Structure 1
């Protein structure tokens, strides 16, 4: 007999997979309509199933390389379970997860997306949403942020307005709180600057109403394509120079530094024994440091 939480886990995992399918289809459709002057054929995602090295579960790694629009984009989903390794267990206990110091069992499912674009005028972007469960607690987390190397204020305004609309489905002050959280989370202390122009970020979301928290997480996921694809359409044919490409590669170096040094998801994925290539999918295909 399936209990209520097992049914909820299945619904969350199914939603993340359905969102992945929708985004992959939309990105491949965008490739089909992209200008072909640069030469490459429309990009397609290569698929690979992933497994957690220790414990249970795995996922689907979907990566497109060398497309007309996307130089590299990954859209990964995973559902994993088992017992956390000691480093991850300590990190969870330090965050105040109830019972984690004595019972390291867990279940987690989510989607993670990072797109690095061919044209430097089209911004890079990140999005993820997830559900996490332990025997004593459950919560949702996620968000999205925009990472242009050449900033267009109108693009930033559109991205944030779309995320604000998703947040407004929950509470009037939701966007302001989660935007401030993103500004703090996506900050690179050793550079003294943000990695991009922000977005929203939330974690440990447990209001006591699972349906409400799941509905909000779905709203964030649904907001991604209308937040990002209009920017791709607006900038994809903009001519670019070698100086623009140089700025893009240097900005990618900043992105790589953040993900390798500070990103909580990267740390958890590696510490929990998930497929390293899937965890590090977010890294750009090329980057540069001065």
Structure 2
């Protein structure tokens, strides 16, 4: 007996095969990052929370709130799918179905780590993979996204240099144009536009819609995935040396208070401008996981002003975008 098949069945089968592979890839990175930050904290433990999403998929949240070095550390992974709401489709910017309903699949791992000491910067990292398909399961678009950025609370310029040097070297192993383009994108993305484009931190790299057919870099799917894997692993060189150098430095009440004020700015960005937060809320993701990035404590002062020679003023000047590979004046 011959069974008739839809012309898109073979393509749909390939899509589902790739989904399984990238979901396992993300799960492996999730385990690596959990182990890394558990070791880096020197005493804290992660609590794991598994969740399911109405409409398809779910995820695993791992949160540390009893850390020695980190006041809060969240490392989440998810693999979710379903029909893409119109508002989310417009914001996402992918190539959806020419007609009919667009469906999405997204998997990724995301972390935000808030240290206890204001001398240790906050760090954020995420890598993700998206697919869009039509109602028959045929692939219409797929891409990678991700990045990492550093948010210091004290003006140690050499820390920004360490972070960016590691990113530059990692990117350059894959293509010379990756770091300068994604560094600029990060500088332009992580800003509170409602506060006159005030930067959240000293940047890093940020990318989205990175496709295997991107003419700028000439990377096939496997090479693109290899680059994104290295992004997920870069904190061993970019962040660990900073933590090890700063974790035992003493700090004052004023420095702790300023850390909480700057955390307030961090909250503002994540709630007002962050793409991941918006996508999660628009696609009915688990709210606790979407808002995992928020710090345990933050502060909002009314119109704070700092004397020009204060550490606060020097930190604000340090946040202005610059070439951190060569510019470490005043470190």
Q: Secondary structure, in 3 states, of the residue corresponding to 2:16? A: helix
Asked whether the 8 Å contact 1:12–1:214 carries over to 2, the reply is: no
Q: Which residue of 1 aligns with 2:160?
A: 156
Asked whether the 8 Å contact 1:81–1:108 carries over to 2, the reply is: yes
Q: Which residue of 2 aligns with 1:3?
A: 13
Inter-partner Cα distance in structure 1 for 2:26 and 2:237:
17
Inter-partner Cα distance in structure 2 for 1:4 and 1:96:
20
Residue by residue over 1:221-254, the C-alpha shift from the partner in whole angstroms, topping out at 9 and shown as x without a partner, is 1212321111111100000110110110000000
Q: Which residue of 2 aligns with 1:194?
A: 199
Q: Which residue of 2 aligns with 1:81?
A: 81
Q: Secondary structure, in 3 states, of the residue corresponding to 1:81? A: strand
The reply to whether residue 267 of structure 1 matches residue 278 of structure 2 is: yes
Asked whether the 8 Å contact 2:94–2:141 carries over to 1, the reply is: no
1:248-267 to 2 correspondence within 5 Å?
A: 248-267=259-278
TM-score (norm 1): 0.92
Inter-partner Cα distance in structure 2 for 1:288 and 1:97:
41
Q: Which residue of 2 aligns with 1:46?
A: 47
Q: Which residue of 2 aligns with 1:15?
A: 25
Deviates more, 1:79-88 or 1:4-13: 4-13
RMSD value over aligned CA atoms? 1.6
Aligned CA distance change for structure 1 residues 100 and 251 (closer, same or farther; 3 Å): farther
Asked whether the 8 Å contact 1:90–1:101 carries over to 2, the reply is: no
Inter-partner Cα distance in structure 2 for 1:101 and 1:151:
52
Q: Which residue of 2 aligns with 1:120?
A: 118
1:101-112 to 2 correspondence within 5 Å?
A: 102-112=100-110
Q: Secondary structure, in 3 states, of the residue corresponding to 2:194? A: coil
Inter-partner Cα distance in structure 2 for 1:190 and 1:146:
20
Asked whether the 8 Å contact 1:50–1:278 carries over to 2, the reply is: no
User: Larger C-alpha radius of gyration, 1 or 2?
Assistant: 2
Aligned CA distance change for structure 1 residues 131 and 96 (closer, same or farther; 3 Å): closer
Inter-partner Cα distance in structure 2 for 1:166 and 1:270:
33
Q: Secondary structure, in 3 states, of the residue corresponding to 1:43? A: coil
Q: Secondary structure, in 3 states, of the residue corresponding to 1:133? A: strand
Q: Which residue of 2 aligns with 1:287?
A: 298
Residue by residue over 1:38-65, the C-alpha shift from the partner in whole angstroms, topping out at 9 and shown as x without a partner, is xxxx21101100221x311001000000
Aligned CA distance change for structure 1 residues 286 and 170 (closer, same or farther; 3 Å): same
Q: Which ranges of structure 2 fall in alignment gaps of 5 or more residues?
A: 1-9, 134-139, 214-219, 302-331
TM-score (norm 2): 0.81
Inter-partner Cα distance in structure 2 for 1:67 and 1:21:
18
Inter-partner Cα distance in structure 1 for 2:99 and 2:292:
30
Residue by residue over 1:71-129, the C-alpha shift from the partner in whole angstroms, topping out at 9 and shown as x without a partner, is 0010000001111233213323xx25332774220100000000000011000000000
Aligned CA distance change for structure 1 residues 165 and 9 (closer, same or farther; 3 Å): farther
Q: Which residue of 2 aligns with 1:142?
A: 146
2:173 to 166, 169, 173: 169
Inter-partner Cα distance in structure 2 for 1:51 and 1:139:
24
Matched pairs, number: 278
